Every structure is written in C-alpha cells, then in structure tokens.
Amino acid sequence: MRAASVSDYRELARRRLPKIFFEYIDGGSYAEETLRRNVADLEAIALRQRVMRDMTELDMGVEVLGQELSMPVGLSPVGMAGMYGRRGEVQAARAAAAAGVPFCLSTVGVCSVEEVAKGAQAPWFQLYMLKDRGYMRELLGRAKDLHCPVLVFTVDLPVPGARYRDVRSGFTGASKFEAAMTQLWDGITHPGWTWDVFVNGRPHSLGSVASAVQDSRRVTDFLSWIARNFDRSVTWKDLDWVRETWDGPIVVKGVLDPEDARDAVRAGAQGLVVSNHGGRQLDGVRSSISALPRIADAVGNDLEVFMDGGVRSGLDVLKALSLGARACFLGRAWAYALGAGGEAQVAKMLATVRSELAVAMILTGCRSAQEAGPELLDGLDPPPASRRDLS
C-alpha cells in the first residue's frame, strides 16, 4: 500500500506496530467523543471556492515567535515516539528541519532533548510540570543550554485522562506476566518493528527524565512514574517560577476557554495552543476548531494563537488559519507516518500537507498564508459533529 493521505499512514502504522502502541497513538479518553469531534468538526467547515484570479504568486511562509516557517505547520509533542520508529523523535525532528517547520519534543519522549538537538535540531521543548521542582529546574536549564527556541508549557494534564483502549490492549493495568506475554506475542507477530525498534532502538526509556526515575525497566514503568508525579497544584503564578530559569518565548498548550486564554495573556505568555490534548483528556469537551474563533477574538494580537487536534490535511490547516490560528500543529499525523516507515514517511507526509495547502490556497484565492481570514470560508457555523466511527 502506497500512502497518499494521513488515513493511509494510519493504516500502515496499524499493520506495522504492536497493538499496544498503535492503540496508544490512535485512542482517546473515555468514549472518545472529543476525539471524533476534532476530526468531524473540521470536515464540516466548507471552504469558499473562488475562480479567475491570478494565483501565480503563492506565499505559504509565516513568521512564528520570530522564526520563519516554510508553511504554517509544526509537529506537536507526541509521547514515546521512539517506540514507533527507531529513535523516533530524532527521525521526526530531521524530517521537520528539512521541511522548514518546527518539531516539539515531548517531556515523555524516548529520545532526550540532548539526543534530538545533536541528531537533528534544537527542538521546541514541551514541559509537563512535575512535583519535583528541582528536577524541573534542571530540565529547563538543559533545554535552555541547548538553545531550544520555544518552551511549550502543557497545562491540561494535571492528571491523565482515562484511556480505555490502553486498558483493553494491555498497555496499562496489566500484570508483569501479562505484559511480558503481550510483548512476546507482539514481537513474534510484528518482526519488522521488533528488529527496527525493540532490538536496535534501545534504550527504551523516557530520555529527558530517565535520571529521575529509579528501578524502571519498561517504558510503561516510566509512564507510571510520570503519572504519579504530575503536579495538580499548578496555577498561572507558576509561570513566574518557570521564568526564573527560562527567558525565551513560552507557549501555553491546552487552552479551550476564552477566559483561560485571557489569563495566559495576563501571565505573560507569548503564545497559546488551542487544544484538548487530541481528545485524550476530558472527553465531551469542544473540538479544538470550534473553540478557536472565540479564543482568537478574546486575545486579539496580545499573543500568537496556534491550534492542534484533528488536523489531517492541508485543507484543515487553511480552515484553522481562516478562523484565527497563526499555525497548526500535527500530532497523530506524524506519529502515524513515523510508525508507517520512519523519517522518510514523515517527510512525505509533510510534503503532502504542503501540496494540499497550496491547492486549497489557490482554489480559494488566498495568495498568502499570513493573510488567510474568514472570507475563505463558506459560512462560519459548522453543523454538530457527526457520530460516525472514525476508526
């Protein structure tokens, strides 16, 4: 099968990856209503086709937090990407650098921030606030010393959401014996992944926080430690604490409410990501795209607004730009591509998104991504998300 779209990469990843890791990428929380809304609400928005316009000149570049991007796209932080491809975060970061877009490294990535910076580029660094503030200060200092250009402070995970797929697959909640049997069977039935990742992709730890985790052998042990150490006490005042170590731009990720967006402005953030964590946290909340216009209106030009959640094509990117986003971040899209075939497939996926965005801009008469606005849409009120099964 030759992949032509994100849904194709999803299918290739499903075939190649062990079930526990595919379900971890693919699933959401609870009944996955928000996961479905993220995709369906974007699909329901209609672009306004325009004709007979000179579209010889097309500018897809944007400036984001002082950086020039080749297109208004970045790669969102995705946990444990090194379990989808050999040293997966490094592979994805190389593909992003070649495409001229940013890569954001998760706190819970398999590759450390040092490994990614050395093997590809200094990434945007995503921070989960953990209870051990001394270690958090050390981690921020490491990212700063590597000249990571942006800190992405994720605020919608004081506690992990209930992800039923992970329980059903045996990824969480299984005994050590059950986990070992699942791992053995996955290795036998997925020999390509076993050779690429399990044998040659070690160590299977969470690189950036590995030194803080004691007596952990499996990647799920690290995740359990992380879950126990999320700090529920975090407030907007903690941005002042972050500023004591980090003096670069801060982007707050996980905002769905306009008042929270105003709080981000008051707290001195330079950007925010409208996001529901890919439908993996509180199920039943708004889709990211439906929350975007109100948040963009609430903050105006006080900070830069980005969006993630449900973005599967260049057409989706243009829709988000039209509703107030400066750029979009892709999460599952690049994780699927990485699982399908590593760096080469991530690069191909980004090229496809670029091509789709170019076609969408030409056929809506949008010459510059920086000038995209609501005039590109055929009606601004999308119908309710469909209830169809997107799996």
User: Residue 293: exposed, middle, or buried by beta-carbon count in 10 A (0-12, 13-18, 19+)?
Assistant: middle
CA-nearest of 336, 343, 318 to 328 is 318
The token duo for 94 is: 């190389």
> For residue 389, what pLDDT is reported?
43
277 is annotated as an active-site residue: yes
Which residues of the chain are under the pLDDT cut of 50? 382-391
377 has which bridge partners? 47
> For residue 52, what pLDDT is reported?
96
Chain-centroid distance, C-alpha 38? 13
> For residue 170, what pLDDT is reported?
87
pLDDT digits (tens, 9 = 90+) for 233-244: 999 999 999 999
Instruction: Determine the Cα–Cα distance for residues 41 and 35; give it in Å rounded to an integer.
Output: 10
Enumerate long-range contacts of 129-135, CB under 8 Å, 24 or more apart. 129/153, 129/230, 129/231, 129/234, 129/238, 130/209, 130/226, 130/229, 130/230, 130/231, 131/229, 131/230, 131/231, 132/212, 132/229, 133/241, 135/209, 135/212
Q: Which of 147, 190, 204, 277 is catalytic?
A: 277
Chain-centroid distance, C-alpha 207? 18
The token duo for 216 is: 């952990």
DSSP-assigned letter for residue 29: S
Q: Catalogue all structural domains in the chain, each as residue range(s) with its CATH number.
A: 6-164+226-374 (3.20.20.70)
Instruction: Determine the Cα–Cα distance for residues 157 and 234; give it in Å rounded to an integer.
Output: 10
Instruction: Determine the Cα–Cα distance for residues 371 and 363; give it in Å rounded to an integer.
Output: 15
Per-residue CA distances from 87 to 76, 82, 204, 205, 209 (Å): 17, 5, 9, 11, 16
DSSP-assigned letter for residue 221: H
End-to-end C-alpha distance for the chain, whole angstroms: 18
3-state helix, strand and coil shares in percent for the chain, rounded to the nearest 5: 50, 10, 40
DSSP-assigned letter for residue 223: H
